[in-house]
Amino acid sequence: MSDAFFALHAGLPRQGPGDRESLDWALAQIALPPDARMFDAGCGPGADIAGLLAHAPQGQVVAMDCHAPFVAQAQAAFANDPRVSVMAGDMANPDGQFDLIWCAGALYFLGVTAGLAGWRAHLRPGGAVVFSQIAWRNAQPAPAARAFWRAYPAMCDAAGVNAWVDAAGWRVLAQRFLPHAAWAAYYDPLQARIDALRGAAHGTDMAQALAAEQAEIDLWRAHGDDYGYLQIVAVPV
């Protein structure tokens, strides 16, 4: 990703679709102990940390991301909470074991099957993984949607994502596509940022980043029923 992309996204509350209602739905599917040790893999600026702690008030969140400015944003937000540790690192190799591994939209960096297979050793008995993965919602998506997501050649439907979970030796406890509100929670602040920057003098890289992000938002508004983030609660077999 370009420097202009990260500059455009700097300081935003989320770096991908998600919201508190979706987090609450997912964690209602499992029995999370109140003192759970939780790993927020690919945490971005830490948008989900407060929600995780609400479900395990005596617990601990270890949050990790590879982008230093996101790590700094999350560290600043939770600097006074001893239950939270935020660090830069490789989310494939967290330290220790967890009752919950939470990964909002970032597992594709590892691959669903490879990521789940690797995380098995980092899950305590009775633990679960919750992740979200972009997938087709219908068999005949609009040409514009198919053209945009061609950048992700492995993109498949819900059955295909489930097959990846099965191949890792895990099973799906529950799943659903993130609702419209979860996308709006990401795109509305991004749209406000684009609107604020539009018309100002920018270099070529920033102008291209603004155009690309606007095109992505416009595509979702026009064809968001064709694709979505499939949120999955999974456990090892």
pLDDT, tens digit, 9 for 90 and up, residues 123-142: 999 999 999 999 999 999 99
pLDDT in tens, 183-224: 999 999 999 999 999 877 788 999 999 999 999 999 999 999
* 123-136 sheet: strands from edge to edge: 84-88, 60-65, 37-41, 98-103, 123-136, 227-236, 170-177
How many percent of the chain have pLDDT more than 90?
Answer: 94
Per-residue pLDDT for 145 more than 80? yes
Q: How confident is the model at residue 30 (pLDDT cuts 50, 70, 90)?
A: very high
Per-residue pLDDT for 1 more than 70? no
CB 60 within 8 A of CB 37: yes
Report the pLDDT value the prediction gives residue 210, as an integer from 0 to 100.
95
Per-residue pLDDT for 24 more than 70? yes
Report the pLDDT value the prediction gives residue 202, as an integer from 0 to 100.
81
SS3 69: helix
What domains are there in the chain, each with its CATH number? 15-180+226-236 (3.40.50.150)
The token pair that represents 75 in the structure block: 């560290």
How far separated are the first and last CA of the chain, in Å rounded?
A: 36
Report the pLDDT value the prediction gives residue 148, as an integer from 0 to 100.
96
What's the whole-number mean pLDDT along residues 31-52? 98
CA distance 21 to 23: 5
Per-residue pLDDT for 164 more than 80? yes
pLDDT in tens, 57-84: 999 999 999 999 999 999 999 999 999 9
What's the whole-number mean pLDDT along residues 47-55? 98
Q: What's the pTM value of the predicted model, to 2 decimals?
A: 0.95
What's the whole-number mean pLDDT along residues 19-42? 98
Average pLDDT for the chain: 96
